[in-house]
Amino acid sequence: MAILPIVLFPEKILKQKCDKVTSFDKKLAKLLNNMYETMVEADGVGLAAPQVGVKKQVAVVEIEEGSAIELINPEVLEMEGEQTGVEGCLSFPSLYGEVSRPYRVKVRAQDRKGSFFEIEAEDFLARALQHEIDHLQGVLFTSKVSRYISEEELERFGEE
């Protein structure tokens, strides 16, 4: 496995809609493995393929160690409620902001073998899934920020 270079804003690929995955092969498995390693190395909770220069609908999310979720061709089926919280992004180092998103989501996606599955998530996992799915549509969290937060403020959030 390899650590991939993370694409930083303003690279064009970050604002492009990604192509659907049609081939569930060893190349896709290698991409998923490398994306996971890259995300862990960068201390992230999610990573989308365009963030490593690949214009495909592929993302990984892991908010608790050992519970990685691989999303291929994901789509949000249901959303409800609202939550506001702090978000950052590996493609925007040291930039954080408050973002409002639905509190609960239901997502349909495919796994690395092409099988469909659904996942329902609330709170922080719902936020992480939506953030990564947005990346696959070329939507950046900065377009949803209501207020930017300094690193000093971020440290105070962590102490609460």
Identify the structural domains of the chain with CATH numbers, from first to last. Answer: 12-159 (3.90.45.10)
Joined together, the tokens standing for residue 47 give 């990573």
- Please list the active-site residues: 132
* Residue 114 to residue 79: CA distance in whole angstroms: 24
Position 138 pLDDT exceeds 90: yes
Q: Which pLDDT band, with edges at 50, 70 and 90, does 128 fall under?
A: very high
Residue ranges in 22-85 assigned as alpha helix (H): 26-41
Q: Residue 56: in which H helix or E strand, if any?
A: none
Q: Please indicate if the annotation marks 89 as binding a ligand.
A: yes
Would you state the pLDDT for residue 160? 52
Neighbour tally for 150: CB within 10 Å: 10
Residue ranges in the chain assigned as alpha helix (H): 26-41, 123-136, 151-159
> Could you report how far apart the first and last alpha carbons of the chain are, in Å?
37
The residues, ordered by sequence, that sit 6+ positions from 119 with a Cβ below 8 Å of its Cβ are 69, 106, 107, 109, 129
pLDDT tens digit sequence for 27-60 = 999 999 999 999 999 999 999 999 999 999 999 9
What pairs with residue 99 in β-bridges?
85, 145
Q: Please indicate if the annotation marks 76 as binding a ligand.
A: no
- Percent pLDDT > 90 in the chain is 90
Would you state the pLDDT for residue 22? 98
Q: Please indicate if the annotation marks 133 as binding a ligand.
A: no
